[in-house]
Amino acid sequence: MRGTWTSRFPPPHDHLRAGNVPLFEDRRIEWAINQLGGVEGRRVLELGPLEGGHTYMLQQHGAHSIVAVEANRSAYLKCLITKEVLGLERARFLCGDFLAYLEETDETFDACFASGVLYHAQNPAKLIHLAAEHAESLFLWTHYYDERHVPSRGARERVVPAGWGVYRGFRHRLFRYRYGLSLKWAGFCGGNAPFSHWLSRDDLLACLEYFGWREVSVAFDEPLHTNGPALALTARRATIGGL
């Protein structure tokens, strides 16, 4: 595992040799927690915790419980290390595909935190739909496709148009993101297939609306992000009366 950590542990554990990215002190998560009215006493579902940085923040902010589903085995083991080092007794890490988990479980949550995972999905609309079936509120941070700023490797664009998708009647454009050689890196933290599909920004917002997400607030809007346009958002599920 040496050399494969991404995140820097928070003080007083920041002397531990891990990575450099401050995911245990992430401003996007602070913003989301505020935006959603806090997570004190709430049951939270986290998709793709990587090394448990956001899980730690959710526990620090008083979440009653956090179920965090991670597919990458090496990342999952790192989450268990984080759990021991930081005493994340209110977190439960599960190893597996969160879409399979959402399809099978009857559990419901007050909030779903889905940071850095939508653009790793092959069927992003399905993720947005299943999150709406299991959680009252949502935090999402994701890349999206914009033809004015396509991430590239050398002269080759990494995200290319891949036709139309239809999921439960929601028709949308798909843009294929190929992982290429990064799949071979021991610290790879993408999806569980050789490629994923990105949505355009308009389709992302339309998809949220279609599957019942309301009160969408966007922040951290970075159309020129080096790895592709990105944004954060929170949303609440429509009540039956509001549909």
Ligand X SMILES: C[S@@+](CC[C@H](N)C(=O)[O-])C[C@H]1O[C@@H](n2cnc3c(N)ncnc32)[C@H](O)[C@@H]1O
Binding residues (CB under 6 A) for ligand X: these are: 23, 48-50, 54, 69-72, 75, 97-99, 115-117, 120, 141, 189, 191-192
Residues in a beta bridge with 145: 200
Can you tell me which residue has the tokens 């935006």? Answer: 35
C-alpha pair distances (Å), 46 with each of 10, 60, 71, 90: 19, 15, 12, 13
The residue of the chain with the least Cβ separation from ligand X equals: 48
CB 242 → ligand X: shortest distance, Å? 29
Contact 143, 225 (CB under 8 A): yes
Residue type, 6: T
- Whichever of 96 and 209 has its CB closer to ligand X, that residue is 96
CB 55 → ligand X: shortest distance, Å? 9
- Whichever of 134 and 209 has its CB closer to ligand X, that residue is 134
- Whichever of 72 and 208 has its CB closer to ligand X, that residue is 72
Helix (H) or strand (E) holding 70: strand 65-70
- Whichever of 214 and 229 has its CB closer to ligand X, that residue is 229
Q: What are phi and psi of 182, to 5 degrees?
A: -65, -20
